Amino acid sequence: MSEPAEIPATRTASYEADPEHVHRVLLLYSGGLDTSVMLKWIQDAYGAEVVCLTVNLGQPGEDYEVIREKALRLGALDCHVVDAREEFARDYLAPAIRANALYGGGYPLFTALGRPLIAKLAVEHARSAGCDTIAHGCTGKGNDQVRIEATVATLAPELKVIAPVRSWQMGREEEIAYAREHGIPIKSSSGAEGEAPYSIDDNLWGRSSEGRWIEDLEHAPEDDVFQLVTRPEEAPDEPELVELGFEHGVPVTLNGERLGLVELIEASAEIAARHGVGIIDHIEDRIVGLKVRDIYEAPAAALILPAHQELEHLVCTIHQNQFKAGLDRQWSYLVYAGLWWEPLRSDLDAYMEHVNALVTGTIGIKLYKGHARVVTRSSPNAVYDASLASFAESGGLFSQSASPGFIELWSLQSRMAWRLHNE
């Protein structure tokens, strides 16, 4: 028998809800075990009404009608399903592409980019449905709680937050027992009959898996974790060439065909996944202090980000390229750390947009058994002159006889310092 834990009456943060002030809750609902148990538990423990919100960010294989019906069956007043793919691509992924966004050198931030949008939509729906509180299913050990609560506290200081998973002290077994007791259907993938499943999060831009053997750093990935990307050893024996066309830093064509950003990302993901491209086995420094391992599958990002970066390098000067890498890293860190609404992020975006005004052109990439390699580039804005770069020619803007004078002055301070320190 599982009794829900006492609701803690003490608050640590200003935005945490006092139990007696919780009357109608907007629950961010995925249809999975945690949030389904939560849907019942909030009604029981708080005596509150629950309105659900499910956000479609392009996670593959979801049946939103099934999720909606499940929510209603579990007593939700209503369940809103929002297709936010276009907004996600336009306002979150396009800026990420312009910023070559990777955290810790490898994570393309799909979850981190999705959370502020999900939380913003939660605020909008909470307000229009007359809710006083927003509930989410994040644990106390992850980054997602930071991203969601920071967003709610920023955009809607009048709304309170509850995070039942952080306080109810039910483990997996207790949750399953609670679900059984309360007639909450459990999907077989919830592992009710055996092993706990991986903890998954996914959207248009990628998929993460955590838990189980992934927590053992010495354990190499097991095949069953890969649900999106073909294992490279099973990928086709023939390479495939793909051409991505960019305008102002955003991809607009795939193999010459003009596509909206959502479709282009989906189509890129499919091609890259087929060739085993986009597997990332990542050790990550979380904002809450933990170091964790994640297995990521991000096929679209693994194709589009390197192509964008290549084109940007081509149209920018050495100084712009040196400088932007630092700003890219700062942008990614802010987004990872849940500070999407921080003005520094929009300051950086202004710079990213200005630089990317010239990032127009086409990049060809060869895909083969887990690798994506840039093989061709073209841009009207390339700071490139084949005759200047050539070994064969001299003249025009480049005078080889000027080089020794340049080297003399360029190395002057370094040579003086060397002599000083070594003689």
Say how many residues touch ligand ARG, by CB under 6 A: 11
Half-sphere exposure of 407 (CA within 13 A, CB side): 5
Residue number, 112 or 264, with CB nearest to ligand ARG: 112
Element (H, E) at 121: helix 110-128
Is 167 noted as a catalytic residue in this protein? no
Which residues does 45 contact at the CB level (< 8 Å), separation at least 6? 4, 7, 164, 168
For residues 144 and 175, which CB has a smaller minimum distance to ligand ARG in the complex?
A: 144
Catalytic residue chosen out of the listed positions 2, 30, 34, 207: 34
Candidate list 294, 297, 310, 312; residue touching ligand ARG; CB under 6 A? 294
If one asks whether residue 2 binds ligand ARG (CB under 6 A), the answer comes out as no
Interactions with ligand ARG, residue window 356-395 (CB under 6 A): none
Which one, 266 or 294, has the nearer CB to ligand ARG? 294
Tell me how far apart the alpha carbons of residues 60 and 379 are, in angstroms, rounded to a whole number: 34
Residue 34 among the catalytic residues = yes
Length of the chain: 423
Answer yes or no whether residue 149 interacts with ligand ARG by CB under 6 A: no
Of the listed pieces 142-150, 157-165, 364-372, 381-389, which binds ligand ARG according to CB under 6 A?
Answer: 142-150
Among 34, 144, 149, 328, interactor with ligand ARG by CB under 6 A: 144
- Does 201 participate in binding ligand ARG (rule CB under 6 A)? yes
Q: Does 202 bind ligand ARG (CB under 6 A)?
A: no
In the residue annotation, 347 being an active-site residue is answered as no
DSSP character string of 277-322 = --EEEEEEE-TTS-EEEEEEE-HHHHHHHHHHHHHHHHHS-HHHHH
Q: Which is nearer to ligand ARG, 294 or 328 (CB)?
A: 294
Q: Which of 154, 199, 321, 330 binds ligand ARG (CB under 6 A)?
A: 199
Distance separating alpha carbons of residues 392 and 389, to the nearest angstrom: 9
Residue whose token pair is 């942008």: 331
Residue 108's nearest CA partner among 270, 255, 294 is 294
Beta partners for residue 28, in sequence order: 53
Strands 291-297 and 279-285: antiparallel
- Return residues touching ligand ARG (CB under 6 A): 111-112, 142-144, 199, 201, 208, 210, 284, 294
Active site residue ranges: 34, 115, 144, 199
